[in-house]
């Protein structure tokens, strides 16, 4: 009888110890994983960058090449980021900004004013003036930067959206 009660007590203690150990392991595992991953999966914040309106051409004058330079926080690191966009005014109060980053492997595309196409030098990808693929390996159109005009000031968002996404923000 005494032996049986000792066994039950021992079993109870074992289960208790296993439960507590498992709980501590689970909680510290989650905390360690959070520490290891840091903020790397957090969405990067978009910023609005002001453009000189004289840099932005009218529709019939082709695209202006605009370099966007801004500070960006990536995880624990803050670095200066540069990207390139092709910008053009399509209406008095509407500007489009096409990202120069090729949708294939990210090379910088160039605007060919004579042929009215974007060309990628890396694998000969071609896009029309809307950024839609004409030929080559790119899997999809060029992305767009969001744009807005506030009190006559043209602004571009550092964030890009897929072609066909909502790119205009009204003030
Ligand atoms: S990176 Fe542009 S076609 Fe390959």
User: What pLDDT does residue 94 have?
Assistant: 87
**Which residues neighbour 132 within 8 Å (Cβ) at sequence distance 6 or greater?**
141, 163
Examine the domain organization and report whether 62 and 25 are in the same domain: no
Examine the domain organization and report whether 56 and 131 are in the same domain: yes
Examine the domain organization and report whether 53 and 137 are in the same domain: yes
Examine the domain organization and report whether 76 and 157 are in the same domain: yes
Full domain range(s) for residue 58: 48-170
Examine the domain organization and report whether 63 and 33 are in the same domain: no
Q: Is 0.75 topped by the overall pTM?
A: no
Please give the number of the atom of ligand 1 that sits closest to the Cα of 120. 2
Examine the domain organization and report whether 25 and 52 are in the same domain: no
User: What pLDDT does residue 159 have?
Assistant: 87
**CB 127: neighbour CB atoms within 10 A?**
25
Examine the domain organization and report whether 96 and 148 are in the same domain: yes
Residues with a CB atom less than 6 Å from ligand 1 = 102, 104-105, 107, 120, 122-123, 125, 136-138
Convert the pLDDT of each residue in 107-161 to its tens digit.
999 999 999 999 999 999 999 999 999 999 999 999 999 999 888 888 999 989 9
Convert the pLDDT of each residue in 3-54 to its tens digit.
677 777 778 788 777 787 777 777 766 666 655 555 455 556 788 999 887 7
Examine the domain organization and report whether 33 and 77 are in the same domain: no
| C-beta of residue 136 within 8 angstroms of C-beta of residue 146 | no
User: What pLDDT does residue 2 have?
Assistant: 56
Total tally of structural domains belonging to the chain? 2
Examine the domain organization and report whether 116 and 97 are in the same domain: yes
């Amino acid at each position: 009888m005494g032996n049986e009660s000792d066994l039950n007590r021992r079993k109870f203690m074992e289960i208790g110890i296993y439960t507590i150990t498992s709980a501590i392991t689970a909680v510290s595992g989650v905390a360690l994983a959070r520490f290891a991953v840091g903020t790397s999966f957090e969405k990067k914040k978009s910023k609005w960058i002001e453009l000189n309106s004289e840099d932005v051409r009218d529709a019939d004058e082709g695209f202006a090449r605009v370099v966007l330079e801004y500070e960006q926080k990536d995880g624990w690191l803050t670095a200066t980021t540069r990207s390139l966009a092709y910008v053009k005014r399509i209406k008095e109060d509407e500007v489009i900004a096409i990202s120069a980053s090729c949708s294939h492997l990210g090379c910088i595309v160039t605007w060919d004013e004579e042929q009215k196409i974007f060309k990628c030098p890396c694998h000969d990808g071609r896009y029309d003036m809307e950024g839609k693929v004409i030929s080559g390996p790119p899997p999809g159109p060029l992305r767009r930067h969001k744009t807005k005009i506030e009190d006559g000031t043209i602004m571009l968002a550092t964030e890009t959206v897929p072609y066909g996404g909502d790119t205009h923000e009204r003030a």
